[in-house]
Amino acid sequence: MRANVLHRYGGPEQLTVVELPRPVPGPGQILVRAAASAVNPVDIEVRSGQAASRVSHPFPMVLGWDLSGTVVECGDGVTRFAVGDQVVAMSAQMATGVGTHAEYVALDATLAAPAPRGVDLVHAAGLPLAGLTADQALEVLAPAPGSTLLVTGAVGAVGGFAVQLAVDRGLKVLALVRPTDVEAARALGAHEVFTAEHPVPHGVADHLLETAGQPAAVDGVRDGGSAVSIVPTAPPVAERGIDVRMSFVEQDGDRLARLGRLVGESVLTLRTAGVFSLDEVGEAHRRLAAGGSRGKLLVAAE
Ligand SMILES: NC(=O)c1ccc[n+]([C@@H]2O[C@H](COP(=O)([O-])OP(=O)(O)OC[C@H]3O[C@@H](n4cnc5c(N)ncnc54)[C@H](OP(=O)(O)O)[C@@H]3O)[C@@H](O)[C@H]2O)c1
């Protein structure tokens, strides 16, 4: 099968397509013929070597965490899916070594979920990592219905899902975005939108979900409120009795199934900014690194 692999740490030019043996699903695993994967900031960290201390897999390495596709084979003991099912999945590539920029991916059936209804299978690859990250970070915050949540990077991949999930939970959502993204944040459901020119007032939010690498946004949280960041390189500093935590995405097929149902109900919308081929993963990295992508950058496998 064709797979895009990283041969050594370095620039996007290190990502090239090679032929690899098609994986064989082990017990409890499914083999998925990929429709698409996606690129995420973590892929840039892995490719550049920035995350090398957390990666213990040999080169050549297949990158990619998100997956959408069709089950073509089930390993022993799989009852969750059958051949022909359309699925989405998140594979924690950095920890497991199982990347998704390939024509076929074998992974544990518990990591996968039915693909969202009413959505093109390629675009469904935009859900897993960003959706799970947003949902798990909100779970850490555990905001009461009616409380006020500030989301930074609110039109980003994770931030956009966080805004929509929070609105669905009955929260009042404040968004911090670039000046050009005010309307996009409103379209996602944010009740009030702030920018560098129109800053968040001090202490207006009960909670903060920080996705933009803007730790100073904790200033917008009231005394004794709470903050969760998903950006480990720039954690907010605990002050004024504010509870500050980090959240790191975890594989979870059941949670992903719930998020997929929310997509089917149009509670969550999938935003695609571009679709690249397996040969163009390096180009997708360049585009992601440049910033300004409004929606996921996907990698179609076919
Ligand atoms: N902990 C985890 O498990 C986990 C999981 C997923 C992601 N992450 C991290 O979370 C971050 C967000 O990921 P993502 O995939 O959502 O990235 P993304 O789609 O690029 O979203 C980040 C958003 O923040 C915006 N932003 C950056 N600086 C800003 C500022 N000063 N003011 C307002 N908005 C600003 C960006 O705008 P521009 O594009 O214009 O810069 C973008 O819209 C990344 O650092 C990623 O590494 C962590």
Tens digit of each residue's pLDDT (9 = 90 or more) over 16-45? 999 999 999 999 999 999 999 999 999 999
Residues 7 and 123 both lie in one domain: yes
Number of domains forming the structure of the chain: 2
Task: Decide: 259 and 268 in contact? Cβ < 8 Å.
Answer: yes
The predicted model gives 87-91 an average pLDDT of 98
Instruction: Please state the φ and ψ torsions of residue 58, each to the nearest 5 degrees.
Output: -75, 160
Q: Using most ligand atoms within 8 A of CB, pick from 94, 231, 271 the residue to mutate for ligand 1.
A: 231
Q: Is 118 a residue whose pLDDT tops 90?
A: yes
Q: Are 229 and 246 in contact (CB under 8 A)?
A: yes
Residue whose structure tokens are 């083999």: 31
Q: Which amino acid type is present at position 120?
A: D
Q: Locate the ligand 1 atom nearest the alpha carbon of residue 248 and give its number.
A: 3
**Which of 222, 77, 56 lies closest to 143 in space, CA to CA?**
222
Does 235 sit in the ligand 1 pocket, CB within 6 Å?
no
Residue 57 has pLDDT above 90, yes or no: no
Dist. CA 120–CA 31, nearest whole Å: 20
CA-closest residue to ligand 1 atom 20: 156
Q: Is-cis flag, bond preceding 60, omega within 30?
A: yes
Does 57 or 164 have the greater pLDDT score? 164
Q: How confident is the model at residue 205 (pLDDT cuts 50, 70, 90)?
A: very high
Tell whether pTM > 0.75: yes
If asked whether residues 134 and 234 sit together in one domain, one would say: yes
Mean pLDDT confidence for 189-213? 98
Mutate to test the pocket of ligand 1, among 180, 211, 214, 251 (most ligand atoms within 8 A of CB): 211
Q: Ligand 1 pocket test: which of 139, 230, 245, 293 has the largest number of ligand atoms within 8 Å of its C-beta?
A: 230
* CA distances in angstroms from 78 to 27, 74, 94, 111, 258, listed in the order given: 7, 6, 25, 12, 20
Written as one string, the DSSP assignment of 50-119 is TTGGG---PSSEE---EEEEEEEEE-TT--S--TT-EEEEE--HHHH----SBSEEEEEGGGEEEPPTTS
> 58 exposed, middle or buried (CB, 10 Å; 0-12, 13-18, 19+)?
exposed
Residues 33, 93 within the same domain:
yes
Distance 28 CA to ligand 1 centre (A): 34
Same domain for 68 and 108: yes
Return the structure tokens found at 160. Answer: 């956009």
Same domain, residue pair 236 and 275: no
Q: Which atom of ligand 1 is nearest to the CA of 214?
A: 31
Q: In this structure, which residue's CA is closest to atom 41 in ligand 1?
A: 291
Q: Output the residue whose Cα is nearest ligand 1's atom 9.
A: 231
Q: Is the CB of 211 within 6 Å of ligand 1? A: yes
- Asked whether the predicted pLDDT for residue 111 surpasses 90, the reply is yes
| 8 Å CB contact between 215 and 244 | no
Q: What are the Cα distances from residue 107, in Å, to 50, 74, 75?
A: 26, 10, 10
pLDDT category at 56 given cuts 50, 70, 90 is: confident
Residues 139 and 27 reside in one and the same domain? no
In a domain, 256, yes or no: no
Q: How far apart are CA 43 and CA 64, in angstroms?
A: 7
Same domain, 142 and 33: no
Atom of ligand 1 nearest to the CA of 42: 47
Pocket mutation for ligand 1, best pick of 158, 209, 250, 270 (most atoms within 8 Å of C-beta): 158
Residue 7: strand, helix, or coil: coil
Indicate if ligand 1 lies below 6 Å from the C-beta of 160: no
What does DSSP assign to residue 27? T
Neighbour tally for 69: CB within 10 Å: 30
Residue 261: the pLDDT is 98
Judgement on whether residues 228 and 242 belong to the same structural domain of the protein: yes
Q: Stretch 151-160: mean pLDDT, rounded?
A: 98
* Cα–Cα distance measured from residue 98 to residue 94, given in angstroms and rounded to the nearest whole number: 8
Q: Residue 172: which CATH number?
A: 3.40.50.720
Specify if 114 maps to a domain.
yes
pLDDT greater than 90 at residue 302: no
Quote the domain boundaries for residue 50.
2-127+270-300
Same-domain status, 188 and 201: yes
pLDDT number for residue 60: 94
Task: Kindly state whether residue 184 falls inside one of the protein's structural domains.
Answer: yes
